[in-house]
Amino acid sequence: MNLRERLTHLDRRWLFLLMGLALLAPLLMPLKLPFAQDRMVQDIYDGIEKIPPGSTVLVSSDFDPASAPELYPFSVALYQHLFQRDIKVVVMSLWPAAPPLVTKAIDEVKKGVGGKPGFANKQYGTDYINLGFRPGEILVIKSVSDDIRSVYSADTQGGRLDSYPIMNGVNGMKDFAAMINVSAGYPGIKEWVQQVQSRYGVRMACATTAVAALDYIPYYKSGQLFGLSAGMKGSADYEKILGVDGKAISGLDTQNIGHLLIIFAIVLGNAVYFLGRRKP
């Protein structure tokens, strides 16, 4: 069996092994290649910098563990930034598996991430609150915007919203200085923009997965989103701006090598194809 035949009948598990190694290597030996900043992420940062300290921001955390590698680092960086600015954070979720990820991210930030000091002084219920998940998708978005208490009578701890100082005077979308959506799909950015941004004119920014980001760039271009973070690269950009040495920056190495390996697989596949064609 010559090389061509061997390659034609290559067991794809060899490719899997190669990919596994390629993804593992940078995690063990980070390269930390420099990268250029994405304008859309810089805009998220700038937008949040303009929010006066003491304001309240709504974060809708709409993703699950599957997309956590791309979006969890963004969440961490986001809470880091909001806490740094002394902005109060109200978090809700349209995805059932999201609330524990919210708690985890905020706890991480409170302890201190990526070489940053922690925020041990941030109090649950005063500086931030996790309202949790409610089923109903678009209906939840609509109702929360008009009257939060019509959907959330209690938070994830089971306490009444009125018992938390942070919810004092916070009734609907008009009481938030901005809305930030971390979204991995449906329901997510499109629904928030259509139901809330266009109706209430609220300042809104989003983070989403790399594959979905293309669909939302028009919203950014039209000014409906003041910023947009796409996938792990976006999260890494945000970490870089904040000076946090986080998971996305090291994750980017993995993406680097991963993309190169896929390109290698394409080239190899084509080489086999052309070698095969030459032979009658």
Partner 1 sequence: MKKTIPLIVTFITGVIMTVEYFSPHPLVQHPKAAIEKWGISVMSAMIVLGTLNILIVNLPRIVRKERDWMYKAIMVAAMIATAGLGFYEQGKFDDKGSFSNWMFTHLLVPLQSTMFALLAFYITSAAFRAFRARSVEATLLLAAAIIVMLGRVPIGELLSAKLTGGALNLPDLVSWINDVPNLAGKRAIMVGAALGAISTGIRVILGMERSYLAG
Partner 2 sequence: MKKQLETAGVLLFLAAGVILSAKPGKPVGGETGQAEGPARAAAEARPVSMRPAEVLGAADRWNDSGDALRLFVRQSGDPEKQALGVLVSEGGGSGWKPAAAQVVVHRDPSGKSTGSLLPETAGEIKDQITHTLTAQIPPDKRGVSMRLRAVTRNIASNGLMNIAALALTPDGRVAVGIELSRDGKAGLIPDAFRLDASTADGPTPLPIAAHLVFQDKDKAVKALEEEKISGLAGDVVLVSLQAVPGGDKPFMLRAGFLAASAQARDEIAVSGPSLPVAAEAAWFNGLRLNVALLLAAVAGLIFWFMWQAKRSANLYVRRIPGIDAIEEAIGRATEMGRPVLYVPGILDMTNIQTISSMLILGKVAEMVAEYDSDIVAPNMIPFVREVAADVVKQAYYNAGRPDAFKPESVPYLSQEQFAFTAGVNGIMLRDKPAANIYLGGFYAESLILSETGFQAKAIQVAGTAEVTQLPFFIAACDYTLIGEELFAASAYMSKDPRMLSTLKAADWAKMLFIGLIVIGSVSLSLGMPQFSQFFEIAAMK
270 scored as a contact of partner 1 (CB under 8 A)? yes
Number of residues that bind partner 1 (CB under 8 A): 50
Residues 86-105 that bind partner 1 (CB under 8 A): 97, 99-100, 103
Looking up tokens 């992420």 gives 41
The one-letter code for the residue type at 243 is: G
Select 174 or 259, whichever has its Cβ closest to partner 2: 174
201 scored as a contact of partner 1 (CB under 8 A)? no
Q: How many Å apart are CA 269 and CA 7, to the nearest integer?
A: 8
201 binds, among partner 2, partner 1, none (CB under 5 to 8 A by kind): partner 2
20 binds, among partner 2, partner 1, none (CB under 5 to 8 A by kind): partner 1
Q: Residues in the site for partner 2, rule: CB under 8 A?
A: 12, 50, 66, 174, 177, 185, 198-201, 203, 211-212, 214-215, 223
Select 126 or 262, whichever has its Cβ closest to partner 1: 262
C-beta separation of 140 from 165 below 8 A:
no
Residue 7's nearest CA partner among 231, 262, 212, 267 is: 267
Query: Which ranges in 50-159 belong to alpha helices (H)?
Result: 68-84, 99-111, 138-146
Q: How many Å apart are CA 104 and CA 84, to the nearest integer?
A: 18
Select 54 or 154, whichever has its Cβ closest to partner 1: 154
Q: How many Å apart are CA 130 and CA 106, to the nearest integer?
A: 10
Min CB(110)–partner 1 separation in Å: 14
Residues 157-176 that bind partner 1 (CB under 8 A): 157-158
Would you mind telling me the total number of residues written for the chain in this entry?
280
Looking up tokens 């086999």 gives 272
Residues 229-268 that bind partner 1 (CB under 8 A): 233, 252, 255-256, 258-263, 265-266, 268
